[in-house]
Amino acid sequence: MCLTCGCLLAYDDHKNSDRLTMEDLEKSATLDHVSLAEAVANIVATVEATNPPPGTARLFAGSPQLGRRMRL
Ligand SMILES: [Zn+2]
């Protein structure tokens, strides 16, 4: 998807290499010797554990799963 905008085009960086794509995630998962599913779970857990400062909680409002798990 580019992995963040919600377009569901996993390998499309929309002509901007700063965007995170499935290819980037695959490379990183390979480096860490984890499956893609584990990598995704680790990303969610890490974002949740990051405990964003007050005022940034709204950034997670668009993700029902993250919002619920973070009690936003
Ligand atoms: Zn996209």
* Closest among 54, 50, 55 to 66, alpha carbons compared: 50
- Please list all protein residues whose beta carbon sits less than 5 angstroms from ligand 1, which is an ion: 2, 5, 7
pLDDT in tens, 17-46: 999 999 999 999 999 999 999 999 999 999
If one counts the domains in the chain, the total is 1
Task: Calculate how far, in angstroms, residue 22's C-alpha sits from the geometric centre of ligand 1.
Answer: 11
Q: Are 20 and 12 in contact (CB under 8 A)?
A: no
Enclosing domain of residue 57:
34-69
What is residue 43's predicted lDDT score, i.e. its pLDDT?
92
When comparing pLDDT for 24 and 66, which is higher? Answer: 24
What is residue 71's predicted lDDT score, i.e. its pLDDT?
47
Report if residue 6 sits inside a domain.
Answer: no
pTM listed for this prediction: 0.67
Report if residue 50 sits inside a domain.
Answer: yes
Q: Can you tell me the distance from the alpha carbon of 57 to that of 16, in angstroms, rounded to the nearest whole number? A: 27
Report if residue 41 sits inside a domain.
Answer: yes
What is residue 48's predicted lDDT score, i.e. its pLDDT?
86
